[in-house]
Amino acid sequence: MILSIESSCDDSSIAITEINSKKLIYHKKISQELQHSVYGGVVPELAARLHVEALPKILEECQPYFTQLKAIAVTNAPGLAVTLMEGVTMAKALSLSLNIPLIAVNHLKGHIYSLFIEKEASFPMLVLLVSGGHTQVIEVKNLNTMHVMAKTIDDSFGESFDKVAKMLNLGYPGGPIVQEYALKGDKNAYELPIPLSQSAQIAFSYSGLKNAVRMAIEKEKELTQEVKQNICASFQKAAVTHIMQKMKKLFKQNPPTHFAIVGGASANICLRNEIEALCQQYQTTLHLSQLQYCSDNAAMIGRVGVEHYLAGDFISMDELDVFSRTQV
Ligand code: KG4
Ligand code: ZN
């Protein structure tokens, strides 16, 4: 079995995965959403301190499995350096005390492998990764051959939901709350610009849309519930339309046989529906992670860990470091 640790942002999570069957034996996650909610976003130092409390609590429950562990897998990039460090420090301590090797896992690969929890992986596949930190289209050939075809030039899709929620005082994380408000609002109430709609470039951008939302809010005399719902609906429509315009271009150029959406923001129902329709149009098979594995979790890290273990891909204690910005 492999024990995996995830602490790249505001979720403390540990999982245990059986190597041969890929079966998830144990999985627990403690989220810090409530603690960061008052600040409207993740405060890195607070997140690190909360990992120090949460990770050992979860680890205690894993003790019965310690004798069966063959390796420790840990997210070491990308993410918040101070929070990644907490997971990596725990991984090193465990590796030393149990005398088993370490495996470094890229968080973005984790999101991709969230598609294959308790399953065999199957590629090639075109993947749209939408999370709080990333908005990318990745061509995946296998675990070690991934090519980023398009990415954001500023904010990410999920982050823009967080920022809109913050401007409207709705709490954190913004994605689920904005989606909920949008359900009750009029998506045509505000005419917001669709980012890069006139550009042939296949890239994403959310800072302009965010500013347009800010200006729309400033024009309102009072932020009533109805105004908030209408702003959320209009914003979500523009944010999703932007992604869809670029995805339609990509599909037209080269329709994929297999396509997936992964990452915390892949839970967005409006985006899922539009992507489903696009895949149907091109007879592309759509792959989605189970909802509980869309947001950050250690099960997906363990799943990548199994692949690295089977390939004999370990890292020494000295080499294992954290990197806040890396590609897949
Ligand atoms: O993958 P994830 O858990 O963490 C990162 O790796 O960043 O994604 C979290 C992000 C947050 O920005 C959150 O607001 C967003 O995913 N999110 C959503 C939805 N659910 C979560 N964004 C839009 N719609 C949603 N339903
Ligand atoms: Zn993530």
Q: Is the pLDDT of residue 171 over 90?
A: yes
Return the amino acid letter for 44.
P
Q: Is the pLDDT of residue 177 over 90?
A: yes
Q: What is the pTM of this model?
A: 0.96
pLDDT at 284: 98
108 C-alpha vs ligand 2 centroid, how far in Å? 7
What pLDDT digit, counting tens, does each position of 50-66 carry?
Answer: 999 999 999 999 999 99
What pLDDT digit, counting tens, does each position of 191-207 carry?
Answer: 999 999 999 999 999 99
Contact assessment for residue 232 and residue 181, using Cβ atoms and an 8 Å cutoff: yes
**Mean pLDDT computed over 162-179:** 96
User: All domains of the chain, ordered by start, with CATH?
Assistant: 2-117+293-310 (3.30.420.40), 125-288 (3.30.420.40)
pLDDT at 327: 85
Q: Are β-strands 71-77 and 2-6 bridged in parallel, bridged antiparallel, or unpaired?
A: parallel
pLDDT tier at 123 (50, 70, 90 boundaries)?
Answer: very high
pLDDT tier at 25 (50, 70, 90 boundaries)?
Answer: very high
Geometric angle at alpha carbon 240, from 236 and 243, rounded to 5°: 150
Q: In degrees rounded to 5, what are phi and psi of residue 12?
A: -95, 120
The DSSP 8-state label assigned to residue 201 in this structure reads: -
What pLDDT digit, counting tens, does each position of 217-255 carry?
Answer: 999 999 999 999 999 999 999 999 999 999 999 999 999
Q: 36, 105, 204, 268: which to mutate for ligand 1, most atoms within 8 A of CB?
A: 268
**Mean pLDDT computed over 83-104:** 98
157 C-alpha vs ligand 1 centroid, how far in Å? 8
